[in-house]
Amino acid sequence: MKHRGKIAFFAGMLTALGAGWAGFPYTLYRSRPQPVDFSHKVHAEKAGSKCDDCHSFRADGSFTGIPTLDKCAGCHAAAMGSTTAEKNFIDNYITPQREPQWAAYARQPENVYFSHITHVNRGKLKCESCHAAHGSTGKLRPYQEDRISGYSRDIWRGKRMSDCVACHEQQGLEHSCLDCHK
């Protein structure tokens, strides 16, 4: 057959394209649900909570990150509503004093130092600038972990080094290696 070679070549190419674009991401990442069915939306709308009510800064300026159980227990020592999610949270975590093993979507690798307080207080950045609409989601999506590197998939979405550099250049700010890689 005249085009036999071309057909074989393009068949191989299509297979690889399909596997690379569709199959590879499924294979690369392992998904796991967050331990608690948490709604940022409910906390923002019904309780009127702001981001820094729970994700606060310590007195020395360091960022607390995801709140610990003590913080949650301040409001949820007893049920405040009638949802199953809250009941499960109280039964499984608050009552037995068991810390939920949250997975942080935006956790950076070990070799990266990021100062939240510098960006929030000095840079006047809003949380949404980096975390998009995460603070108004009704449900926590599964955490996706790279099987090879062990890093969260989310750090590739707007939190890469090139994104940091691009933003600093856009704002006309200086930056050097040791700012983040100390």
Partner 1 sequence: MNSTRRDLFIYAGGSAAGALLTPAPWRLITDTALWSENWPGIPSPPRGEIRTKFTNCSVCRAGCAVRARCVGDQPVQLAGVASHPLSHGALCPFGLTAHHLPYHPARLKQGSAEQALAAASAAGGRIAVLDLRPGRTASWTYRRAMAALNGLYVTADQPVAFDLHQAKTVLSLGVPLLDGWGTPGNVWAARPGFRLIQAEAIESRTAALADVWLPIQPGTEEALALAIGNAIQHGKADDERALSLANELTHNGPALVLDNSGSAAAMALNQLLGAAGHTMVARPEAPVPDSWQKAVLATGLAQIEDRSISVLLIDESAVDRYLPWHTIERKLVRDNPVVVTFASSRGGYARHARFALPTAVYPEFAEDIPTAIDSPAATFRISTPLAAPPPGMVNPAEFIATLADLPKSDALRERADAIHQAGRGTVFTPADGKTVAVKSLTAEVFWKSLSEAGCWIDEPGHGRAPQAEPRPYLPPSEPGSGGLPLVALLATPQAPPLISPLMTKLYQESNLRLAPNRVALNPSEARAARLEDGAHAFLETHLGKCGVEVSVDAAVPAGVVLVGTAPGILDVCGAAARAKVVAA
Q: Provide the binding-site residues for partner 1, judged by CB under 8 A.
A: 1, 4-5, 8-17, 19-21, 24-25, 28, 60, 62-63, 109-111, 113, 146, 148-151, 182
**Residue 60: both structure tokens together:** 């020395």
Kindly state the smallest distance separating residue 111's Cβ from partner 1, in Å.
7
Contact predicate 106/130, CB 8 Å: yes
At residue 113, what are phi and psi to the nearest 5 degrees?
A: -110, 125
**With respect to partner 1, which residue has the nearer C-beta, 34 or 115?**
115
Least Å distance between CB 174 and partner 1? 19
| 99 residue type, one letter | E
Smallest distance from partner 1 to CB 83, Å: 30
| Closer Cβ to partner 1, 44 or 102, answer by number | 102
Pair 40, 139: CB distance under 8 Å: no
* Closer residue to partner 1 (CB): 139 or 181: 181
**DSSP element (H, E) containing 32:** strand 29-32
Q: Which is nearer to partner 1, 87 or 160 (CB)?
A: 160
Q: 58 or 124, CB closer to partner 1?
A: 58
Element containing residue 146 per DSSP (H, E): strand 143-146
Q: How far is the CB of 3 from partner 1 (least distance, A)?
A: 11
Pairing verdict, β 143-146 and 29-32: antiparallel
Give min distance, CB of 21 to partner 1, in A: 5
Q: Is the dihedral of CA 146, 136, 90, 88 positive or negative?
A: negative
